[in-house]
Amino acid sequence: MRAILMEARGGPEVLKPGEVPTPEPGPKEVRLRVKAAALNHLDIWVRKGVASPKLPLPHVLGADASGVVDAVGPGVTGFAPGDEVVVNPGLSCGHCERCLAGEDNLCSRYEILGEHRWGAYAEYLVVPEVNLVRKPQNLSFVEAAAIPLTFLTAWQMVVDKLGVRPGDEVLVMAAGSGVSVAAIQIAKLFGARVIATAGSEEKLRKARELGADETINYTHPDWHKEVRRLTGGKGVDKVVDHTGALYFEGVIRATANGGKIAIAGASSGYEGTLPFAHVFFRQLSILGSTMGSKSRLFPILRFVEQGKLKPVVGQVLPLEEAAEGHRLLEERRVFGKVVLQVD
């Protein structure tokens, strides 16, 4: 089968088209013919060696995919060849205490497709049956592939970690990213007033079209003061952040006393300055967040089917242009998701 192989760690040029054996499904596994695979910043971190630096090479990236069931292994009961599906990218043991409590993303054996095992930049993909859900009929394969990782991440941050409720003022950083595109919509769904930041006027305009109530260009040095002004001097109640070291001190200063900050990444760097006095004196809560429980994809897709949430696709490229997709994502030239179409 055709696949995009990561042959080394480095820039986008290490991603090269190649041929690898077509995988066979084992017990309780399903093989799908991939129709679309979405890119994530996780793919860039793995490519650079920041995440999972000891992975054997070559490697196939890609957490998000949609496609058509092609073959099923022994014991599969929920799907049959021809079914249109979306891949749920979090893999876990399925039988430990965390998994049985619905906290599978805290399983000690938790893995993410495309990071810890071969992923979706390929014609075919084999995953456990429990990692498939049916594709909403009102979505194209490209739109469906743009949902799982970022919406799961945003749902856990907004709903499970921050507990956003009507009347909350919520700051969503880096509005053009996949996670933040989802977070803006989910926060609005739960009744929040959303303040979104981005680095260009075009991205801020699109954030307002998605539902953001206020927008701020965070390339301005005093952007956090504008957050304070827009909240009557109080600061925001809750923050969705994955921007990292460059903006973290501003995030702290933009947060209200007793506020909560959920962090799911560090795009601008992993080592930042933490003003401890703000944290303990103003009683801030800083909450780490990775992905979300597999179960959360079900309500997400229901809201998508109802038209209350929507994937935002910024660029579609053929599979062979995965390297260009990485450049677009890394240079922040796209609002929403970059998706590879697999013909």
pLDDT digits (tens, 9 = 90+) for 21-66: 999 999 999 999 999 999 999 999 999 999 999 999 999 999 999 9
pLDDT digits (tens, 9 = 90+) for 80-98: 999 999 999 999 999 999 9
pLDDT digits (tens, 9 = 90+) for 117-148: 999 999 999 999 999 999 999 999 999 999 99
Residue 273 has pLDDT above 90, yes or no: no
Residue 274 has pLDDT above 90, yes or no: no
Q: What is the pLDDT of residue 275?
A: 86
Q: What is the pLDDT of residue 150?
A: 97
Q: What is the pLDDT of residue 270?
A: 81
**Residue 337: partners with Cβ closer than 8 Å, 6 or more residues away:** 38, 39, 146, 150, 178, 181, 311, 312, 313, 314, 315
Q: What is the pLDDT of residue 5?
A: 98
Domains of the chain: 2-139+311-341 (3.90.180.10), 152-288 (3.40.50.720)
Mean pLDDT of the chain: 96
Q: What is the DSSP letter of 67?
A: E
How far CA 168 is from CA of 91, 211, 223, 297, in Å, comes to 33, 15, 20, 24
Q: What is the pLDDT of residue 246?
A: 83
> DSSP alpha helices (H): ranges in the chain?
41-48, 97-100, 141-145, 148-155, 178-189, 201-210, 223-230, 245-254, 276-281, 297-305, 322-330
Give the mean pLDDT of 2-10: 97
Q: Which of 226-230, 240-244, 252-256, 266-270 has the lowest mean pLDDT?
A: 266-270
Q: What is the pLDDT of residue 52?
A: 92
CB atoms within 10 A of CB 318: 12
The H helix count followed by the E strand count for the chain is 11, 17
Give the mean pLDDT of 210-227: 96
Coil vs helix vs strand at 235: coil
* Separation between Cα atoms, residue 113 and residue 195, nearest integer Å: 32
**Residue 100: partners with Cβ closer than 8 Å, 6 or more residues away:** none
Q: What is the pLDDT of residue 254?
A: 97
Nearest to 72 by CA among 124, 23, 27, 117: 27
Q: What is the pLDDT of residue 337?
A: 96
pLDDT over 70, % of the chain: 100
* Separation between Cα atoms, residue 29 and residue 130, nearest integer Å: 8
Nearest to 142 by CA among 328, 336, 294, 339: 339
Residue 342 has pLDDT above 90, yes or no: yes
Indicate the residue type of 53. Answer: P
Residue 91 token pair: 């893999």
Output b/e per residue, 219-247; b: 16+ Cβ within 10 A: eeeebbebbbebbeeebbbbbbbbbbeeb
Q: What is the pLDDT of residue 269?
A: 81
Nearest to 274 by CA among 232, 244, 237, 314: 244
* Separation between Cα atoms, residue 132 and residue 188, nearest integer Å: 27
Residue 267 has pLDDT above 90, yes or no: no
Q: What is the pLDDT of residue 209?
A: 96
DSSP string, 156-209: IIIIIIS---TT-EEEESSTTSHHHHHHHHHHHHTT-EEEEEESSHHHHHHHHH
Contact 64, 147 (CB under 8 A): yes
* Separation between Cα atoms, residue 177 and residue 182, nearest integer Å: 9
pLDDT digits (tens, 9 = 90+) for 153-185: 999 999 999 999 999 999 999 999 999 999 999
How far CA 36 is from CA of 119, 125, 181, 182, 261, in Å, comes to 12, 11, 19, 19, 33
Q: What is the pLDDT of residue 20?
A: 97
